Amino acid sequence: QKAEWAKLKDEPSVTADQKHVELVANIGTPDDVDGVLRNGGEGVGLYRTEFLYMGKSSLPTEDEQYDAYKEVLEGVGSDKPVVVRTLDIGGDKELDYLDLPKELNPFLGFRAIRFCLERDDIFRTQLRALLRASVHGNLKIMFPMVATISEFKQAKAILLEEKENLKQEGIEVSENIEVGIMVEIPSTAVIAKQFAKEVDFFSIGTNDLIQYTMAADRMNEKVSYLYQPYHPAILNLVNNVIEAAHAEGKWAGMCGEMAGDPVAIPILLGLGLDEFSMSATSILPARSQLLKLSKDEIASHKDEILSKSTAEEVVEFVKEITES
C-alpha cells in the first residue's frame, strides 16, 4: 500500500469521475514544509502561526515573523497556495508573557480575532510581516474564530491600512492576496451566505465547530461521545457553508481533523468541498481513496445524507453507496 501511495506523490487529486479537489497540509512551523512536499501536498491549507509566539519570553518581532513566512512561501513554491492563519491565542493555547486574565470558560472567551482586534498593536505587527512576505509566494490570509461580519470587516480594514502604510514606505506588497475566514463558530456557519459576500474563501475548522455545535469540550473525555464529526447537525452546517461559498463563486475548504478522516472524505466530497487540509501524512492515503470515489454519485444522495437522524445512520448509508 505504501508503494502505491508513493506513486501518487506528483499526481493530481482526482476522483473516479475526474473531478479535481485540492489536498493541502496543516503546518505549524517552516520545518514542516519538507514533509508537505515529500507527501505530495498541493500547498498549505492551514499554517498555525501560534508556534511563533509560544515557547519564548516575548512577542516575535516583525522581522522574525517575516523570515518564517517567507521561508514557508518559498519552500512551498510560488505556484502553490499557503493559507496563513493569524494569531489564534487563548482557549487551549496560552501565552505566559501576555499575562491574560484567567477565564472560567477560555474556549468562549477572549481569544483569537477577539484578542487581535483589541491588541491591534500585536495584530498589526503580524499583518505587516505577512504583507511583506506576500511577494515571495501565493499567500492567503485567514482570520480565526470570526463570529460576526463586523469582526471580519474590522480585521480586513486593519489589514488594508497596514498594506497602505507599507506602500507609503515604498515596500512592495502582493496585490493578489485572498482574505478569508475560518468557519468554526456555529453562528458563522449559519449565516455563511452573508459572509460569502464579504470573504474570498472559507476554511471550516471542525475541531472547534464540532465542540461549539454539540456543546462538548473537545478536551473532556467524559463528553467525547458527543464529539461527532458525522452528526447530521455538523454536516448540515458544513453543507450550508459550501453552498454559500459556491453561490458567490468562492471556494470552501476544511482544515479541521475531519478533512483527513477516511470516513468523512466521501461525505465532504459529495457535499462539494473544494479543498481538504490535513496532516501531511494523510495526503497520499486521501489521494488514493479519492481515485475510487465518484463525486457525482455521492452528490446525488446529498439530500438523503443530510436528512439522516444520527451519525451512525450517516456512516452506514455512506458506506452502502460508496461500496456498491
- Interaction site with ligand PEP (CB under 6 A): 46, 48, 88, 184, 205-208, 255-256
List binding-site positions.
48, 85, 184, 207-208, 218
Q: How many C-beta atoms surround the C-beta of residue 214 within 10 A?
A: 18
Residue nearest Mg ion (C-beta atom): 208
Give me the least distance between CB of 184 and ligand PEP, in Å please: 4
Give me the least distance between CB of 283 and Mg ion, in Å please: 21
- Please give the Cα distance from 239 to 247 (Å, whole number): 12
Query: What is the C-alpha radius of gyration for the chain, rounded to an integer number of angstroms?
Result: 19
Using CB atoms within 10 A of its CB, is residue 97 exposed (0-12), middle (13-18) or buried (19+)? exposed
Picked from ligand PEP, Mg ion, none, the partner binding residue 48 (CB below 5 to 8 A depending on kind) is ligand PEP
Q: For residue 294, give the nearest of 251, 265, 314 by alpha carbon.
A: 265
49-64 CB burial, b ≥16 within 10 A, e <16: bbbbbeeeeebbebee
The pattern of x and - marking residues 195 through 234 that bind Mg ion according to CB under 5 A reads ----------x--x--------------------------
Give me the least distance between CB of 178 and ligand PEP, in Å please: 18
Catalytic entry in 185, 255, 286, 305: 255
User: Footprint of Mg ion on residues 137-196 (CB under 5 A)?
Assistant: 184
Cα end-to-end distance, the chain, whole Å: 22
SS3 29: coil
116 is catalytic: no
SS3 187: helix
Q: Does the footprint of Mg ion cover residue 257 (CB under 5 A)?
A: no
Picked from Mg ion, ligand PEP, none, the partner binding residue 200 (CB below 5 to 8 A depending on kind) is none
Cell of 137: 509566494
User: Footprint of Mg ion on residues 58-117 (CB under 5 A)?
Assistant: none
Positions marked catalytic: 255
